[in-house]
Amino acid sequence: MRELNFGLDAVLKEADYKIKNNSTVDDLKKNIREVVLKVIQTY
C-alpha cells in the first residue's frame, strides 16, 4: 500500500506492458522473456 502513496497506481494504469508475478520463478522468467522480445520486435 505504501507504493500507492508514491503514485505507483497511476504508473501501472498507464503501462503498455504488465507482467503478473503470481506463479513460479520459471514462469515469471518465461513471461518476462516473451514481453521483452515483443518490445524488441515492436521498436
- Give the residue extent of every domain in the chain: 17-43
Backbone φ, ψ for residue 30 (5° rounding): -60, -45
Query: Is the pTM for the entire model greater than 0.75?
Result: no
Condensed to tens digits (0 to 9), the pLDDT of residues 1-42 reads: 676 677 888 888 899 989 989 999 999 999 999 999 999 999
pLDDT of amino acid 35: 95
Question: Look-up: residue for cell 505504501?
Answer: 2
